Amino acid sequence: MTPDRRLVRDDLGAEVPLPAGAVTRVVSLVPSLTEALAATRPEALVGATDWCTRPEGLDIPRVRGTKNPDRAAVADLRPELVVCVQEENRELDVRRLREAGVPVWVGRVESVDDALRVLRTLIVEVLAWAEPAWLLEVERLWAGPAAPARARVAVPIWRDPWMVVGSSTFTADLLARAGLVNVFGDHRERYPHVDIEEIDGAGADVVLLPDEPYVFTPQDGPEAFARTRTALVSGRLLTWYGPAMVEARASLDALAR
């Protein structure tokens, strides 16, 4: 590396070339990380996906979706770094961007601890930005031990076919940290297909119906459950890591009471 360049490793072990100082042009292909970057240094965020809906009013170029980004549009934005995560973005897109000479950093998030590590590593070490106040608050709220179990929940993420949050996911760990036991948390799959009868009979105190990725509404979701109480919740507060985790703490604590 020359004096004006440095190398970092991403979560999958790839070496990523970056400027020696702070990164000033970033494209994010992860909605939650888009919100985190915009809350930290908005002027450095030069592109994001169509699904990057936070912060509201974010006025930057869009590069299509998380799983079908317009790679040519990404390259045309001349990013010093493209930010991805293993769960949401395709290895093919990461590889093709790198082959085109675009630096890509990939994080891996399967737990709250992973999320805290990825957020701090990305912002402070990789991007070389100052530590934001929201990150300190997120760490204060979530870095401690899990709360005592107070309620049992199931979390569908899709219907027709029905799918639920299973094991080894950020969402399952977030729930556990807040004292909510995921009744499918021991399933061998991360997002298993499960019949509605099994969800309704799994012994949950409440079925949480988020508004993403499937948009559950008062008219679409609750009517499927004959035995279990349901609650409509923000999908952002269950699945996004970053500033959303501040709001998630209070909301999940209220559900666990």
Q: Beta partners for 207?
A: 154, 230
The Cα–Cα gap between 156 and 182 comes to: 11
The Cα–Cα gap between 97 and 68 comes to: 12
Please check whether residues 137 and 167 belong to one and the same domain: no
Please check whether residues 33 and 131 belong to one and the same domain: yes
Domain-ending residue, one of 141, 171, 198:
141
CA angle 32, 34, 37 (to 5 degrees): 115
135: CATH: 3.40.50.1980
Structural domain harbouring 51: 5-141
Residue 121 domain-assigned? yes
> What pLDDT is attached to residue 1?
59
Please check whether residues 189 and 84 belong to one and the same domain: no
Please check whether residues 60 and 111 belong to one and the same domain: yes
The Cα–Cα gap between 174 and 111 comes to: 7
Could you tell me the two tokens for 100? 């085109």
Please check whether residues 64 and 30 belong to one and the same domain: yes
Residue 167 domain-assigned? yes
Please check whether residues 42 and 96 belong to one and the same domain: yes
> What pLDDT is attached to residue 255?
83
Q: Beta partners for 18?
A: 6
Residue 146 domain-assigned? no
> What pLDDT is attached to residue 202?
96
Instruction: Look up tokens 């919100």; give the residue.
Output: 35
Count how many domains the chain has: 2
Please check whether residues 179 and 96 belong to one and the same domain: no
Residue 240 domain-assigned? yes
- Contact criterion met (CB below 8 Å) for 35 and 243: yes
List per-block mean pLDDT (blocks of 10 residues) for the chain, which spans 257 residues. 86 97 98 98 98 95 97 98 97 98 97 97 98 97 89 96 95 94 94 97 97 96 97 96 95 84
